[in-house]
Amino acid sequence: MNKPIPLLNDPDWRRVSALPIHENNEALVPASLASSGLHCYPAYYKLGIPNAVPECHMRRGVYQRLLTASRSLPEGLTLLVLDSWRPYSVQQYLYDTLYNAIENHWPDKPAAELEQLTREFVSLPSTDPRAPSPHLTGGSVDVTLVDEHGLMLDMGTQFDEATSWSHTAAFEQLDTPTAHEQKVIANRRLLYQAMTGAGFTNLPSEWWHYDFGNQLWAWYSGQPQACYGPTHPESLESRWRKEIDRRHQ
């Protein structure tokens, strides 16, 4: 688990969005199903983000791989899920909030550059079935590590901190890391190796962001297609409507 984290290029979003999606219709499941081996803390809901949901929903295959990753960790450490499936409205809120913050700091930058800086940490909001926002697929997860007391390990930056130090391999580039920086490097390597060992890929600009099954995963794993498109948790109303529709076919 002490293998260095490779330095990867940022995604070419135009080409990522062009990858075909062959939806496998895998259901979303809540992370809180796990009685052990996985913790869930819906960060955006806890922060009061408008329309954020009080659960971390994810595809079944993602859930199973998270359990595999968590069980591979050294004794006393566990994965903590901070976010997974994300409503479009939350994606739009996060994008607009970061875009506005960057624009206020650099008011003279052209719109294209502001968008590029924003997309470093927040994907473009999209419900396009051919190119959905990664979190809208239920295939993206934001995770970290916690100790036996439920306290988060030091990863060098906070979750969602929009700085270059949040890049997954940022601390790997230091020539003479301090004792504290060496601990950060070790913690990030633990998370990275556990997650990639379970089949996930990482977004290089975010140490917390991992993917399986969606277009980002296909891009970084060299797959010709994705298997997760946009989805949403099933509501009681939608379930009843489906049952009524089947009866009258």
Q: What positions carry a catalytic annotation?
A: 206
Q: Is 22 annotated as a binding residue?
A: no
Q: Is 142 annotated as a binding residue?
A: yes
C-alpha angle with apex 68: 65 to 74, nearest 5 degrees? Answer: 140
> Which residue type does 142 have?
D
Output helix, strand, coil percentages for the chain, rounded to the nearest 5: 40, 10, 45
Helix (H) / strand (E) element for 38: namely strand 38-40
**Rounded Cα distance, 33 and 201, in Å:** 23
Rg of the chain's alpha carbons, rounded to an integer? 18
Alpha carbon separation from 89 to 51, 53, 93, 140, 219 (Å, rounded): 7, 11, 6, 17, 25
**Which are the contacts of 102, defined by CB distance < 8 A and separation ≥ 6?**
109, 114, 117, 118
DSSP secondary structure code for residue 27 in this structure: P
Residue 39 annotated in ligand binding: no
Name the DSSP class of 80.
E
Read off φ and ψ for residue 179, nearest 5 degrees: -60, -40
Eight-state DSSP code of residue 5: P
- Give the residue ranges of the annotated binding site for Zn(2+): 135, 142, 209
- Give the residue ranges of the annotated binding site: 135, 142, 209
